[in-house]
């Protein structure tokens, strides 16, 4: 009887130990992660490209050199607000075919069309308003018909403050906003790639992002490899650029071979020249680097800065151009300067010298420059700030024909 009782007690102890061990094992198991909600735009209303045009087998360097020199349709399709009237929200006239035709006649070979998308989506899946996509296509087509290269991008879609981002606000390059950012970016670029594909040859170029940065922070415009905040932001942007390239290439057709341009943090030369910037993996090996240069700031952008062009300014420009050439162009990676310019301060002769240096030096290196234009010319209550007016869109004339002639001659190396 004692023997049987002992065996029973031993069995109970053994079972208890196994149960405890099992419970302990279960307690340490990580809880299952919730499934991510996959959001996909409404393809039934999406605009689809039905055209058919062969695309030339040109290298990225050949395309960028053939772009020659360009101009930005600034403050139009990139203006804030929803609906088709957003195009005129920032004081610009509605874009017409006559404007584009006049630009082409003047000798501009390239037009960059900045477009804001996040304010033109109809649902939580980032379905773009088909009326907006149709309007974008109309303007792109006018330029293509005129034989121009067109750069199409996502422009003012960077969320405007340092916080957790709600949906429909675009993207923000932080880890906490990565999922929402990629939902916006991938769905947006899938729709752009659907609307622009086989009907467009090598004259259409996609630019992934515009001046992506940590808006609302002290680091908004300044990248530093020594600052972990901007380094982390650049790492996010590397992910964003890669995912957009993947989406475009996956759409097939002419988009499998199309030139794609990618920026670094804030589109600054400093960010793409830093070791943290990564060129996306690309099966087509056709990636360009996009930078913006309003340099030096005191001369080119600061309304209270210097009005005088000096040899020191020329040397500063040459130093940055050489760095871009050495890191990228000489390694068969094309570069274009998607925005540049010097504001009007009643200093025409000095600006002419600046433009001659800027365009002539970059052209020799195979770098193409695209002029930023917001049609603002006259001094106002804000002084000379943001006076980047060059082309009169209503009359199809240049406000400063001497500057335009200088740009054209420098681009042709005359």
The residues annotated with a catalytic role in the active site are 211, 339
Q: Nearest CA to 203 among 96, 74, 66, 71?
A: 66
Q: Helices 348-364 and 401-411: crossing angle, nearest 10°?
A: 20
**What are the C-alpha distances in Å from 168 to residues 66, 114, 125, 217?**
37, 19, 9, 21
Q: Which helix (H) or strand (E) holds 69?
A: strand 69-72
Question: Could you give the CA distance from residue 96 to residue 394 in angstroms, rounded to a whole number?
Answer: 9
Question: Could you give the CA distance from residue 222 to residue 185 in angstroms, rounded to a whole number?
Answer: 24
Question: Could you give the CA distance from residue 384 to residue 251 in angstroms, rounded to a whole number?
Answer: 45
Cβ proximity of 337 and 372 under 8 Å = no
Question: Could you give the CA distance from residue 315 to residue 295 in angstroms, rounded to a whole number?
Answer: 11
| Half-sphere exposure at residue 79, Cβ-oriented, CA atoms within 13 angstroms | 21
Q: Helices 130-145 and 178-195: crossing angle, nearest 10°?
A: 50
**What are the C-alpha distances in Å from 126 to residues 137, 186, 242, 260?**
18, 9, 20, 22
**What are the C-alpha distances in Å from 249 to residues 259, 283, 405?**
10, 8, 38
End-to-end CA distance of the chain: 114
> How far does Cα 403 stand from its chain's mean position?
27
Question: Could you give the CA distance from residue 183 to residue 179 in angstroms, rounded to a whole number?
Answer: 6
């Amino acid at each position: 009887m004692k023997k049987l009782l002992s065996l029973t007690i031993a069995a109970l102890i053994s079972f208890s130990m196994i149960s405890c061990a099992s419970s302990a094992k279960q307690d340490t198991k990580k809880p299952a992660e919730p499934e991510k909600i996959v959001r996909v735009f409404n393809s039934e209303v999406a605009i689809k490209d039905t055209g058919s045009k062969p695309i030339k087998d040109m290298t990225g360097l050949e395309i960028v050199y053939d772009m020659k020199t360009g101009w930005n349709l600034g403050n139009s399709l990139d203006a804030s607000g929803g609906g088709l009237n957003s195009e005129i929200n920032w004081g610009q006239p509605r874009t017409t075919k006559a404007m584009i035709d006049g630009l082409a006649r003047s000798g501009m070979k390239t037009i960059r069309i900045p477009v804001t998308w996040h304010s033109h989506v109809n649902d939580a899946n980032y379905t773009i308003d088909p009326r907006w996509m149709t309007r974008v296509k109309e303007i792109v087509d006018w330029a293509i018909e005129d034989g121009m290269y067109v750069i199409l991008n996502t422009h003012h879609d960077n969320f405007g403050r340092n916080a957790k981002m709600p949906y429909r606000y675009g993207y923000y390059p932080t880890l906490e906003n990565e999922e929402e950012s990629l939902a916006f970016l991938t769905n947006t670029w899938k729709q752009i790639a659907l609307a622009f594909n086989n009907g467009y040859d090598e004259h259409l170029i996609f630019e992934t992002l515009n001046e992506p940065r940590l808006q609302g922070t002290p680091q908004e415009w300044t990248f530093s490899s020594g600052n972990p905040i901007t380094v982390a932001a650049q790492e996010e942007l590397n992910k964003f650029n890669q995912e957009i390239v993947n989406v475009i290439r996956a759409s097939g057709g002419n988009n499998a071979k199309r030139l794609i341009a990618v920026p670094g943090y804030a589109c600054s030369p400093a960010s793409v020249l830093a070791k943290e910037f990564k060129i996306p993996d690309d099966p087509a090996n056709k990636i360009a680097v996009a930078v913006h240069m309003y340099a030096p700031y005191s001369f080119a952008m600061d309304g209270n800065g210097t009005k005088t062009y000096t040899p020191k300014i020329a040397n500063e420009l040459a130093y940055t151009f050489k760095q871009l050439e050495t890191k990228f162009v000489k390694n068969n990676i094309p570069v274009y300067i998607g925005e540049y310019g010097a504001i009007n301060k009643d200093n025409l002769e000095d600006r002419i010298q600046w433009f001659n240096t800027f365009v002539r030096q970059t052209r020799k290196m195979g770098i193409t420059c695209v002029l930023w234009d917001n049609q603002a010319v006259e001094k106002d209550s804000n002084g000379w700030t943001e006076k980047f007016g060059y082309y009169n869109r209503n009359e199809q004339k240049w406000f400063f024909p001497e500057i335009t002639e200088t740009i054209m001659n420098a681009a042709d190396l005359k």
